[in-house]
Amino acid sequence: METEAELGRISIAPEVLVTTARLTALAVPGVARLIAPPGMGRLLQASGVKVDVVDEKIHVEIYVMTDPDANMLSVGRKIRAEVTRALEEMVGVDVQAVDVHIEDVAFA
């Protein structure tokens, strides 16, 4: 993602967006851990966050495992709100969507 400025250009690597979304999601109470998306990602040990940039807008998909006592709906909403806030305020990008996929519950 690039932005033109008066004195030059600012480019943000996609990895920065992934790291910001990943760390923000992990900080939400009730999230046990992130897991790789279904399919080849699970075999390749992907990070649990997928970011697409389309027309200067960000679409994020996050795959999480929740704590057994967590309210999954509340956790999903909190992840969506916090990741959107972090990307818009910290990185300065427009977020089109944050999709949260609760894939499993982390039982002992």
pLDDT digits (tens, 9 = 90+) for 18-27: 999 999 999 9
The number of distinct structural domains making up the chain is 1
CATH code of residue 84: 3.30.70.1350
Predicted TM-score (pTM) of this structure: 0.86
Q: Where in the sequence is the domain holding 90, given as residue range(s)? A: 2-105
pLDDT band at 78 (very low <50, low <70, confident <90, very high): very high
The distance of Cα 36 from the centroid of its chain, to the nearest Å, equals 12
The pLDDT assigned to 44 comes to 60
